Amino acid sequence: GGEEGGGGNAWFAIEKTVMPHETDYSGHMWHGNYIAWLEEARVMLLDNKGVSYAEIVAAGVALVVAEVAVRYRRPALLGETVAIRVRVRRGGG
């Protein structure tokens, strides 16, 4: 994974390949799996910054997901490699 762009809200990207268990009967990735991939990318983003998600949880800190946005541009198909981009922003209030 790696960062794209600069600044505090830079995007972090990983690549994943669509596996059979992640697809529906037609070979399209099931829409609910995208959220799991976003969470995996979020944990990897923290790791890339030297922050252990396990240590955060052990310290009793909750990293709340206040909003998730997914833009389905086209289906991810079985065997395709897909780029997942995430960024973490400070919440307000």
How high is the pLDDT of residue 65?
85
- Those residues whose C-beta lies under 8 Å from the C-beta of residue 63, and which sit 6 or more positions away, are 42, 53, 56
| pLDDT tens figures, 27-60 | 999 999 999 999 999 999 999 999 999 999 999 9
24 annotated active-site: yes
DSSP 3-state assignment of 12?
strand
Three-state SS sequence of 20-54: HHHECCCCEECCCHHHHHHHHHHHHHHHHCCCCHH
| pLDDT value of position 4 | 62
The active-site residue out of 24, 47, 55, 80 is 24
